[in-house]
């Protein structure tokens, strides 16, 4: 080790680190003024311009900061090294310090591969070949994406774009315009990697909706994808074993929607919100009408089907008498006690003249006459039936 004049040392053009931030160098320069250079530079003999005798191998940042601090001499270890050793040592030092950005690392690896095998580069840096290849993939990205990876988190140019974001952006290499807009969207909306991947996959899967995916917030994108997903599912062959689960899911959502409908909210909506609400309700109504028509068509083909609505005597759920049991509480729906043909005074059916005791009329069993009676006539008309007549 020896003290060498700063003017006799030149930098290495192939140095892995390309970014030297002024504020960071100023901080280091202040430290050098107060305490000096605690760790010597590593240089090698070099024939360069007049007066230059050495080339820095490790410690370029310290050399720059020493110049800012006004030092004339710096401590350095002089070593005879080949170009291969110089680049490997410089890269290894920065890898260990973890202060190279992703693009600097990728460029350095690419430089090492010019005169070293994949295996040797991996052993030198202590990483797998897979890691090396993943790093080099970043160099296939457009320059404007690579530039984002060189920015610091507190850079005035904007938030840092992570490596994970960049790898996903490779999925838009065929569409640079959308890729550039996607970069802006990630930064503006602070999208995480999962949301970024979701949007890019959506753009590639549904290119005709690209503009929508680039403009709308992530929650709207998810809503659009759910809609497309539901359509795709309906296009697939249906599995009979899922039908029961499907019905239960529809009933659950219908119940939740019924609970949500509250006319009072209209008093607090502006015209735009009410237009949106009406459009949503109208679309739902249309889908339900189409679905109901298909269900009625199938049921009407069955012998004895009558679209007679009744209220469950136990929980009040509106059901069709063809259901036999309530879908909520599983109570038997056709009770003689609620039938217009039942004579409660004499406890008998006025149609068949059969004796039906009140105890059986109020709580029928599956073997009771009322369980599947085709002449059941509800004593009171349900709201559902009144609504149905109005629509008809």
Do residues 112 and 88 lie in contact, with contact meaning Cβ atoms separated by under 8 Å? Answer: yes
Torsion of CA 331, 334, 337, 342, to 10 degrees: -170
Helix (H) or strand (E) holding 319: strand 318-320
Do residues 356 and 369 lie in contact, with contact meaning Cβ atoms separated by under 8 Å? Answer: yes
The residue from 49, 60, 104, 163 that is catalytic is 60
Do residues 340 and 334 lie in contact, with contact meaning Cβ atoms separated by under 8 Å? Answer: no
Q: How far apart are CA 90 and CA 220, in angstroms?
A: 48
Q: How far apart are CA 144 and CA 146, in angstroms?
A: 5
Q: Catalytic: 60?
A: yes
Coil, helix or strand at residue 123: helix
Question: CA quadruple 294, 299, 301, 307: dihedral positive or negative?
Answer: negative
Exposed, middle or buried by CB within 10 Å (0-12, 13-18, 19+), for 232? exposed
Do residues 49 and 88 lie in contact, with contact meaning Cβ atoms separated by under 8 Å? Answer: no
> By C-alpha distance, which of 141, 139, 117 is closest to 129?
117
Active site residues: 60
């Amino acid at each position: 080790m020896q003290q060498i004049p700063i003017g006799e040392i030149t930098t290495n053009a192939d140095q892995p680190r390309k970014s030297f931030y002024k504020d960071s160098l100023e901080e280091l320069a202040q430290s050098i003024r107060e305490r000096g250079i605690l760790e010597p530079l590593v240089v090698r003999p070099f024939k360069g311009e007049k007066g230059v005798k050495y080339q820095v191998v490790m410690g370029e940042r310290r050399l720059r900061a020493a110049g800012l601090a006004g030092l004339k001499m710096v401590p350095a270890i002089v070593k005879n090294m080949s170009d291969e050793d110089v680049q490997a040592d410089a890269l290894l030092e920065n890898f260990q310090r973890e202060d190279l950005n992703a693009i600097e690392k990728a460029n350095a690896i690419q430089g090492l591969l010019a005169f070293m095998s994949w295996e040797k580069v991996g052993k030198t840096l202590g990483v797998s070949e897979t890691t090396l290849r993943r790093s080099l993939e970043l160099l296939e990205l457009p320059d404007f994406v690579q530039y984002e990876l060189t920015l610091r988190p507190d850079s005035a140019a904007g938030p840092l774009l992570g490596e994970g974001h960049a790898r996903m952006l490779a999925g838009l290499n065929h569409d640079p315009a959308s890729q550039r807009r996607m970069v802006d969207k990630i930064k503006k909306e602070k999208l995480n990697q999962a949301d970024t991947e979701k949007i890019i996959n959506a753009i590639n899967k549904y290119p005709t909706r690209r503009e929508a995916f680039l403009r709308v917030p992530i929650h709207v994108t998810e809503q659009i994808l759910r809609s497309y997903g539901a359509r795709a599912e309906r296009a697939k062959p249906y599995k009979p074993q899922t039908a029961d689960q499907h019905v239960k899911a529809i009933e659950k959502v219908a119940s939740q929607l019924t609970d949500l409908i509250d006319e009072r909210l209209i008093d607090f909506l502006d015209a735009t919100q009410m237009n949106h609400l009406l459009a949503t309700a109208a679309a739902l109504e249309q889908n339900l009408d189409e679905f109901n028509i298909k269900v009625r068509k199938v049921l009407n083909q069955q012998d004895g089907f009558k679209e007679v609505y009744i209220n469950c005597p136990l929980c009040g759920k509106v059901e069709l008498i063809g259901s036999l049991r309530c879908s909520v509480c599983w109570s038997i729906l056709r009770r003689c006690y609620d039938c217009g043909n039942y004579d409660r005074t004499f406890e008998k059916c006025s149609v068949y003249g059969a004796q039906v005791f009140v105890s059986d009329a109020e709580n029928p069993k599956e073997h009771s006459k009322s369980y599947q009676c085709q002449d059941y006539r509800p004593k009171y008309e349900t709201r559902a039936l009144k609504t149905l007549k109005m629509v008809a």
